[in-house]
């Protein structure tokens, strides 16, 4: 279990997450949603142990992340940031292999599985400088998956992908959850959260508004409260689309 207990986080002198508590279960996909500036990316950093709490704590299976050696934490938690910068112009295969660094081994099977999962076989020798934005996003996620972390934390992993690769990636994240990994993703697309997440955390102004099943956390009433938009869900479960009206005053 990955848990935040009365967690508050500060960035740039501002409190970006305020007294938030949540317990995330392995084997599930949790989506973190909210308006711009709600604290979603900051919360993900805190859950990854990359942003120290101003108060409260984050624990992994009962152990405080702050007390874990960095390598032990990196073996357990794979973090994919929103930025897709790549420091070295290396081939895709070598870039994915960097995901094995916390283990200090080559981990050939894990690397090959990650390359296959993100459909990168035809790109393995391509230099990073010659990747498109969508290709770069897939390669960086493959690097995370190559580490076989118990938890995959990804900030907007679908943003740069076309529809086909979005669906393929969602399917792979579902496979990760079925295999027992915990998956936590920040998304802006509420339909993706509604259709593919097991659980949704809605943030606004650094506070947790609601934590629950997608049908509850993303109800028209919650959307009106948090986003200020009148909306309704259309379609069947698993294939719902959000029809929005005018912004509420």
DSSP track, 201-237: EEEETTEEEEEE-HHHHT-HHHHHHHH-EEEEEESST
Q: The sheet that has 14-24: what strands, in order across it? A: 14-24, 2-11, 55-60, 63-64
pLDDT > 60? residue 36: yes
Beta-carbon contacts of 246 under 8 Å, excluding residues fewer than 6 positions away, are 229, 230
Give mean pLDDT, residues 12-17.
94
Provide the pLDDT for residue 167: 85
pLDDT > 90? residue 184: yes
Distance CA 184, CA 41 (A): 11
- Report whether 154 contacts 176 (CB < 8 A): no
Q: Structural domain tally of the chain?
A: 1
Note the helical H segments in 63-213: 70-76, 92-97, 108-117, 133-146, 163-178, 190-196
Residue 16: name the closest of 54, 56, 49, 73 by CA: 54
pLDDT > 60? residue 249: no
pLDDT > 60? residue 59: yes
CATH number for 228: 3.40.50.300
pLDDT > 70? residue 29: yes
Provide the pLDDT for residue 132: 87
Is the overall model pTM greater than 0.85, yes or no? yes
The whole domain housing 56 covers 2-247
Span 131-167, pLDDT tens digits: 988 888 889 999 999 999 999 999 998 887 888 888 8
How high is the mean pLDDT of the chain?
A: 93
The pLDDT-based confidence of 245 (bands split at 50, 70, 90) is low
Provide the pLDDT for residue 95: 95
Segment of 100-109, 171-180, 215-224 carrying the highest mean pLDDT? 215-224
Provide the pLDDT for residue 134: 81
Q: Is the dihedral of CA 182, 134, 94, 45 positive or negative?
A: negative
């Amino acid at each position: 279990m990955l848990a935040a207990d009365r967690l508050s986080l500060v960035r740039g002198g501002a409190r970006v997450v305020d007294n938030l508590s949540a317990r995330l279960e392995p084997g599930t996909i949790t989506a973190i949603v909210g308006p711009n500036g709600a604290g979603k990316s900051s919360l993900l950093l805190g859950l990854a142990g990359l942003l120290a709490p101003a108060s409260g704590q984050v624990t992994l299976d009962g152990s405080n992340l702050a007390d874990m050696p960095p390598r032990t934490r990196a073996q357990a938690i794979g973090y994919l940031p929103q930025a897709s910068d790549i420091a070295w112009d290396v081939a895709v295969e070598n870039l994915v292999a960097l995901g094995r660094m916390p283990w200090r081994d080559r981990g050939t099977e894990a690397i090959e599985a990650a390359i296959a999962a993100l459909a990168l076989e035809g790109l393995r020798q391509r230099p990073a400088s010659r990747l498109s934005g969508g290709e770069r996003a897939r390669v960086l996620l493959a690097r995370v998956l190559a580490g076989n972390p118990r938890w995959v934390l990804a900030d907007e992993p679908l943003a740069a992908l076309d529809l086909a690769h979005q669906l393929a990636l969602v399917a792979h994240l579902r496979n990760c959850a079925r295999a027992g990994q915990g998956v936590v993703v920040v998304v802006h697309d509420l339909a993706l959260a509604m259709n593919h997440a097991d659980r949704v955390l809605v943030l606004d102004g650094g506070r947790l508004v609601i934590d629950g099943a997608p049908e509850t956390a993303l109800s028209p009433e919650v959307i009106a409260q948090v986003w200020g938009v009148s909306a309704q869900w259309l379609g069947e479960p698993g294939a719902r689309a959000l029809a929005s009206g005018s912004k509420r005053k």
